[in-house]
Amino acid sequence: MEPPEIERLDEQTVQRIAAGEVVERPASVVKELIENSLDAGATRVAVAVESGGTEGIRVRDDGVGIPENQLEAAVAEHATSKLSTIDDLDRGVATLGFRGEALYTVGAVSRLTVRSRPAGAAAGAEITVEGGNVREVRPAGCPEGTTIEVDDLFYNTPARKKFLKRTATEFDHVNTVVTGYALANPDVAVSLEHDGRETFATEGNGDRRSAVLAVYGREVAEAMVDVEWTPESGGSDDPPVRRVTGLVSHPETTRSTRDYLATYVNDRYVTASALREPVLDAYGGQLAPDRYPFAVLFVEVPPSDVDVNVHPRKLEVRFDAETAVRTAVEDAVESALLDHGLIRSTAPRGQSAPDAVAVRPETPDSEAVGGAGTDHERAALDGRSDTEASDDGSVEATGEAVSAESAGEPSELDPDDEDAWAIDDVGDGAEKREETNAKTGGVRSDPPSPRSWQSESTDTVDSDVADEERVKTESGVTPDADAGARSDDDDADAGDRSESRESAVAGADSRPARSTDQRTLDGEATTEERTYDSLPPLRVLGQLHETYVVAETPSGLLLIDQHAADERVNYERLQAVFADGADAQALAEPVRIELTAREAALFDEFVDDLAKVGFRAGRAGEREVAVSAVPAVFDAALDPGLLRDVLTALVGDATDGEEPVTDIVDELLADLACYPSVTGNTSLTEGRVVDLLDRLDDCENPYACPHGRPVVIRFDREEIGSRFERDYPGHAGRRAE
């Protein structure tokens, strides 16, 4: 085989390859053009797109503009006014753009027109690039600033155009980009328009909360708290993190996606995990599962300590001191939330407790206030015959005293009678217990075991009466002694009740307890091995950590996640309900919910798809919708706010022409199936476990929950033997069974 000949690529091929690194979709173009506008010192940036940006993009600003004699250089490869030498790159880049690739690569895969007029210039000029071919510069009438128009994106690269998503998806990416820069630059008035309709517009008044209001709505803006963090004094002159500022939301104001976590490094929008992860960690478990807060967070670091030249898109950065950055972000967000009382403090127990009250020992001449045998107690009891002292020194009301007082009889316990208030010693108590046992025919005074109590039938003695008898017996007070404090009629009644109680207790103790084996709903015993259609034959052994069902099979051991199993059962039940279309539950009153700019833009696109899922809603304002019906599942109405999450799921990444509703319904059902399912750390009876396994066996796929987690984990005999090293050399021939 002859070695292949190495040849240089032609210029046109190089252009298209380079364009793929920078321009992946319309949102990539919008990002590059907005960054150029901000670097040009613009105070107003207006973005307008057609068909999600696939048919047309226009970005207009009032920046410094481009002189006519520099227009050709502006669209040339690697031509920039923001970088001179490699030393500038090493010192750190302060501008958003610096590669000089944006206009060049955009012009290589579209029809690009750059129209600009510097401040004070008498007229403007324009230049056109079509598929990499640069036309001549010509005069043009335009306002001060720069306007860039991009038409027919990827018209000359059909393979790349084929991979664009549906219009709603592409516009959602554009919206995310413009939103990010609008929040990062509250002093710049930023607006976004789609197919002639304004999506949002910020005022450019320098107030970041005002920008949040314009983009996310009043509900979110009111739930945001300020973040302001600086390193402690006494450190280095130029610490690895100079400042952390911004806004984060209340733990209950969340969405189902990370898209609302806007993080910035030196005012550059980035999606670095080193910033997003500590934001979530700062909430300390206060967020609901799979929920993410709103955040607009800015981290300022020395420019030389961050590398923004990792990728042409500049969304990924590297920090010289990543650990310090993570710690600073988490501390900043956590402190802000703690200051507003939105998360619980993790301070050690007692650290924030009030100062302890000084305890001074009393002198021999002073009498304690309160306590048994004191004047304070005697004064409190004087004239009150309806109380008696309990074993712990407290005062309790007794039915006997009340009865005696109502009958006009004096109390049997005189506060001044020391013998009456004396506590029997151990010997006296033992003698009284022996005497009680003799009177009850030798029945032991300690109560029956819980199992024998549970096996009693309904015709046995009342449990409250039995408990009363037990308490009296254990305390050394016999029924006869207790009867002395009652009236003659009460004595007779008490004697009759005492005999019946003694005989009942004796009978309960003498006969064997009934079986307490658990049974299934069909009445079958659960202790035997059961066979299934899908699951292997198994015998339930019990629960592990009240989370996993442990079962024995002929070939080994099974662990079954009870939550995942119940989730699978509920999921397939919901699938059957939704098979012929989702039923909708009408709400008594329409519920109005506020949407973000992004959600409001998606609503019109997916209103029919929402109806297929079971949500019926209509616009009630620019940013509000009125929900009149929700999916009817589990015999309960769902939270209308779930519509926001469904909108986000619908936009997804479905390719143009495909219907994503089926997939969205499936995802929705998977989430809904989780709510009523038995959770971990829940004790189950054996009968309930067996019934769960019966229902799991009826499932089409009993081995995975709807989110893909395993339901059953199997340990076969060989694996168990191997873990116990029963196959070590020389083991053969020895008795190992």
3-state secondary structure 94-156: CCCCCCCCHHHHHHHCCEEEEEEECCCCCCEEEEEEECCEECCCEEECCCCEEEEEEECCCCC
My answer on whether 550 and 687 are in the same domain is yes
Task: Identify the band that residue 627 occupies on the pLDDT scale cut at 50, 70 and 90.
Answer: very high
Residues 6+ apart with CB under 8 A from 363: none
pLDDT at 98 over 50: yes
Give just the sign of the alpha carbon dihedral 490, 496, 501, 506.
Answer: positive
Predicted confidence at residue 634, as pLDDT, reads 58
CA distance 330 to 319: 16
pLDDT at 630 over 90: no
Task: Identify the band that residue 577 occupies on the pLDDT scale cut at 50, 70 and 90.
Answer: confident
My answer on whether 61 and 113 are in the same domain is yes
Calculate helix-pair angle for 463-474, 488-510, nearest 10 degrees: 100
Domain of residue 165 covers: 11-201
Q: Is 377 inside a domain boundary? A: no
Mean pLDDT for all residues in the chain: 74
**Is the pLDDT higher at 471 or at 372?**
372
Task: Identify the band that residue 623 occupies on the pLDDT scale cut at 50, 70 and 90.
Answer: confident
CA distance 253 to 217: 12
**Hey, which of 91-100, 316-325, 386-395 has the most confident mean pLDDT?**
316-325
Predicted confidence at residue 579, as pLDDT, reads 74
**Is the pTM value of this prediction over 0.85?**
no
- Tens digits of per-residue pLDDT, 152-183? 998 888 878 888 888 888 999 999 999 999 99
Residues 6+ apart with CB under 8 A from 587: 627, 628, 629, 630, 637, 640
CA angle 186, 189, 192 (to 5 degrees): 110
pLDDT (mean) for 601-629:
87
Q: Is 17 inside a domain boundary? A: yes
Q: How many domains does the chain have?
A: 4
Closest CA to 220 of 254, 188, 186, 271: 254
Predicted confidence at residue 592, as pLDDT, reads 93
pLDDT at 709 over 70: yes
pLDDT at 239 over 50: yes
CA distance 29 to 126: 19
| Phi, psi (rounded to 5 degrees) for 99 | -80, -25
My answer on whether 43 and 170 are in the same domain is yes
Predicted confidence at residue 726, as pLDDT, reads 79
Give just the sign of the alpha carbon dihedral 234, 240, 243, 244.
Answer: negative
Residues 6+ apart with CB under 8 A from 394: none
My answer on whether 139 and 56 are in the same domain is yes
Residue 651's CATH number:
3.30.1540.20
pLDDT at 499 over 80: no
My answer on whether 154 and 187 are in the same domain is yes
Task: Identify the band that residue 487 occupies on the pLDDT scale cut at 50, 70 and 90.
Answer: very low
Residue 173's CATH number:
3.30.565.10
Closest CA to 607 of 550, 564, 665, 647: 647
Q: Is 375 inside a domain boundary? A: no
Q: Which two tokens stand for residue 102?
A: 């944006």
Let me know: does 20 contact 161? Beta carbons within 8 Å.
no
pLDDT (mean) for 275-292:
87
pLDDT (mean) for 585-600:
90
Residues 6+ apart with CB under 8 A from 620: 590, 592, 626
My answer on whether 246 and 196 are in the same domain is no
**Strand runs (DSSP E) across 612-711, as ranges?**
616-619, 624-633, 636-637
pLDDT at 347 over 50: no
Let me know: does 478 contact 435? Beta carbons within 8 Å.
yes
- Structural domain ending residue among the three candidates 296, 324, 339: 339
Q: Is 410 inside a domain boundary? A: no
pLDDT at 113 over 50: yes
- Tens digits of per-residue pLDDT, 638-697? 788 888 888 887 776 544 445 556 776 777 778 778 877 888 888 888 788 889 999 999
My answer on whether 252 and 306 are in the same domain is yes
Q: Is 617 inside a domain boundary? A: yes
My answer on whether 168 and 243 are in the same domain is no
- Structural domain ending residue among the three candidates 302, 321, 339: 339
Q: Is 472 inside a domain boundary? A: yes
My answer on whether 168 and 286 are in the same domain is no
Predicted confidence at residue 13, as pLDDT, reads 66
My answer on whether 230 and 196 are in the same domain is no
My answer on whether 187 and 228 are in the same domain is no
Q: What percent of the chain has pLDDT over 90?
A: 31
Predicted confidence at residue 403, as pLDDT, reads 42
H or E element, residue 647: helix 642-651
| Phi, psi (rounded to 5 degrees) for 412 | -75, -20
- Tens digits of per-residue pLDDT, 308-318? 656 555 566 78
Residue 300's CATH number:
3.30.230.10
Let me know: does 48 contact 26? Beta carbons within 8 Å.
no
Task: Identify the band that residue 622 occupies on the pLDDT scale cut at 50, 70 and 90.
Answer: confident
- Tens digits of per-residue pLDDT, 506-555? 444 444 444 445 554 455 555 577 889 989 998 888 899 989 999 999 98
pLDDT (mean) for 65-74:
88
Predicted confidence at residue 660, as pLDDT, reads 59
Q: Is 628 inside a domain boundary? A: yes
My answer on whether 72 and 110 are in the same domain is yes
Instruction: DSSP letter for 79, please.
Output: -
Q: Is 586 inside a domain boundary? A: yes
Predicted confidence at residue 287, as pLDDT, reads 85
pLDDT at 578 over 90: no
Let me know: does 145 contact 63? Beta carbons within 8 Å.
yes
- Tens digits of per-residue pLDDT, 411-450? 444 555 555 444 444 444 444 444 544 444 444 444 433 3
Percent helix, strand and coil across the chain, each to the nearest 5: 35, 20, 40
Closest CA to 172 of 660, 624, 665: 660
CA distance 549 to 46: 60
* Three-state DSSP state, 388: strand
CA distance 520 to 526: 7
**Is the pLDDT higher at 685 or at 454?**
685
CA distance 436 to 430: 10
pLDDT at 393 over 90: no
Burial classification of residue 301, based on how many CB atoms lie within 10 Å of its CB (0-12 exposed, 13-18 middle, 19 or more buried): buried
CA distance 337 to 285: 13
**Strand runs (DSSP E) across 143-281, as ranges?**
145-151, 189-194, 197-201, 224-229, 243-249, 254-255, 261-265, 268-270
